[in-house]
């Protein structure tokens, strides 16, 4: 009897360890959400589902290991009709049928690209909107260009165990996706094409692959690029919520060669300057960068209420992070600037690819920074004699202390003397022989 009791205790201990190990294995799929309520299969949030599959392969999208919680990866697995492969398209969301509080979303966007992992996410925190294009065999999602990313297997290799991704590479052909019953998934059938696509508002350059133009966006002076996107017109579309920061969103239609600002992921990183590139069916680039505007005459900013003080780049240095300060006016290079109205930049005339902007990291002080990494757009308000930026912010002398060497800051516009700046031409003193 004694030995039976010991054996039972040992077996219970093994079972307990197995449960702990299994729980740890489940937790590892959600390292970023420790402490959150787990979102497993919920009888109150279940719906009948369908399969998302690659036609003719017998492979379906599947929640890894049947773990139903946010940040669970989506993989390709052999279609078996199990709950982990059941989804429901609900407007611009793709919900997990066993728990409709979970949706497909693009996460962990890779640096310098728009490619990210396809995971489950709490629907209330989902960023990506989706639409099924049955005729093209694609599921498209929103990025900085509306519906410009697509679901695809990593490496464009449809095989069991391959991780699913979302990004522009999925929009350029490859194996066709379908959405339907288990029988359709196993037969490779797909939904009938629907005229005009589903939910296409009619103003997006996401037409079919036979469109006469291919659109690219490329970073000016950097490695980032995205495309091609098929388009019926030789123009580039840009802008949605992901491309905005502090209310600044340069949404619109751009001509070949035009440059605009793009926040890759909201305000979490400095913006990029990106340029529209259009190619015809033969791959030939249409048009080219517009001719740069004539260089504006370099001028100085003179403090209105303090005679003899001007805005100055400390020490005449040209590297990023150099302080912008008050200094006695002398008309030399450290006090010469040009206003680039088209790009919303105040350029340092001694090195025009350097601009004056709010310090990186969210501080209020003004400093030099590379123009392509500047956060804000600035303009000179000649009527009120001040430099104005986003959200009614102006260049300002802190506390109205007009001292030599005082650094300038960004502050709410108020039309008070610390923000008064006249734009004047000061000649450099002539040297006596």
Model confidence pLDDT, tens digit, residues 393-415? 899 999 888 999 999 999 999 88
Q: pTM for the whole thing?
A: 0.41
Q: pLDDT tens for residues 101-122?
A: 899 999 888 777 788 999 999 9
Q: pLDDT tens for residues 274-294?
A: 888 888 888 888 875 444 445
Residues 6+ apart with CB under 8 A from 29: 64, 65, 67, 69, 71, 72, 73
What is the topology classification, in CATH, of domain 300-424?
Answer: Trefoil (Acidic Fibroblast Growth Factor, subunit A) (2.80.10)
User: CATH says 38-187 is which class?
Assistant: mainly beta
Per-residue CA distances from 168 to 82, 145, 239, 293, 418 (Å): 30, 10, 16, 33, 48
pLDDT on residue 206: 34
Separation CA 41–CA 50 (nearest Å): 16
Question: What band does 246 get if pLDDT is binned at 50, 70 and 90?
Answer: low
Of 86-95, 258-267, 322-331, the range with the lowest mean pLDDT is 258-267
The answer to whether the Cα torsion of 153, 156, 162, 165 is positive or negative is negative
Question: What band does 58 get if pLDDT is binned at 50, 70 and 90?
Answer: confident
Closest CA to 284 of 236, 212, 206: 212
- For residues 145 and 224, which has the higher predicted lDDT (pLDDT)? 224
Per-residue CA distances from 236 to 114, 147, 255 (Å): 17, 13, 6
* pLDDT above 80: residue 20: no
Separation CA 208–CA 164 (nearest Å): 22
On the question of a common fold for 38-187 and 300-424, the answer reads yes
Q: Domain coordinates of the chain in residue numbers?
A: 38-187, 213-286, 300-424
SS3 137: coil
Burial of 429 (0-12, 13-18, 19+ CB in 10 A): exposed
Q: pLDDT tens for residues 381-395?
A: 888 889 998 888 899
């Amino acid at each position: 009897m004694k030995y039976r009791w010991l054996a039972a205790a040992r077996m219970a201990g093994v079972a307990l360890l197995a449960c702990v190990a299994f729980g740890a294995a489940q937790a590892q799929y959600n390292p970023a959400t420790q402490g959150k309520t787990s979102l497993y299969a919920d009888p109150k949030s279940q719906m009948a589902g369908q399969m998302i599959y690659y036609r003719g392969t017998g492979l379906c999208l599947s929640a890894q290991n049947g773990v139903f919680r946010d940040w669970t990866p989506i993989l390709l697995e052999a279609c078996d009709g199990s709950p982990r492969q059941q989804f429901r398209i609900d407007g611009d969301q793709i919900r997990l049928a066993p728990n409709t509080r979970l949706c497909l979303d693009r996460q962990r966007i890779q640096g310098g690209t728009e490619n990210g992992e396809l995971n489950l996410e709490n629907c209330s925190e989902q960023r990506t909107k989706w639409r099924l294009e049955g005729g093209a065999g694609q599921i498209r999602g929103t990025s900085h260009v509306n519906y410009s990313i697509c679901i695809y297997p990593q490496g464009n290799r449809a095989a069991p165990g391959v991780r699913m991704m979302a990004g522009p590479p999925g929009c350029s052909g490859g194996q066709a996706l379908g959405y339907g019953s288990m029988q359709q998934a196993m037969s490779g059938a797909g939904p009938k094409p629907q005229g005009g696509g589903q939910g296409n508002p009619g103003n997006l350059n996401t037409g079919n692959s036979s469109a006469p133009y291919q659109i690219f966006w490329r970073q000016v002076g950097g490695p980032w690029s995205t495309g091609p996107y098929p388009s019926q017109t030789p123009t580039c579309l840009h802008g949605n919520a992901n491309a905005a920061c502090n209310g600044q969103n340069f949404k619109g239609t751009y001509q070949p060669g035009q440059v605009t600002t793009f926040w890759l992921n909201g305000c979490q990183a400095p913006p990029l300057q990106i340029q529209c590139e259009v190619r015809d069916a033969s791959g030939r680039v249409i048009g080219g960068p517009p001719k740069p505007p004539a260089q504006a005459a370099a001028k100085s900013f003179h403090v209105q209420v303090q005679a003899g003080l001007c805005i100055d780049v400390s020490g005449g240095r040209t590297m990023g992070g150099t302080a912008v300060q008050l200094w006695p006016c002398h008309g030399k290079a450290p006090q010469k600037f040009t206003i680039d109205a088209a790009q919303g930049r105040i350029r340092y005339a001694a090195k025009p690819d350097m601009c004056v902007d709010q310090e990186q990291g969210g501080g209020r002080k003004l400093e030099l920074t590379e123009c392509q990494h500047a956060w804000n757009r600035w303009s000179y308000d000649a009527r009120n004699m001040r430099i104005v930026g986003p959200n009614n912010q102006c260049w300002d002398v802190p506390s109205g202390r007009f001292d030599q060497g005082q650094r300038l800051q960004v502050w709410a516009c108020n039309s008070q003397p610390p923000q008064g700046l006249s734009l004047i031409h000061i000649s450099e003193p002539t040297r006596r022989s």
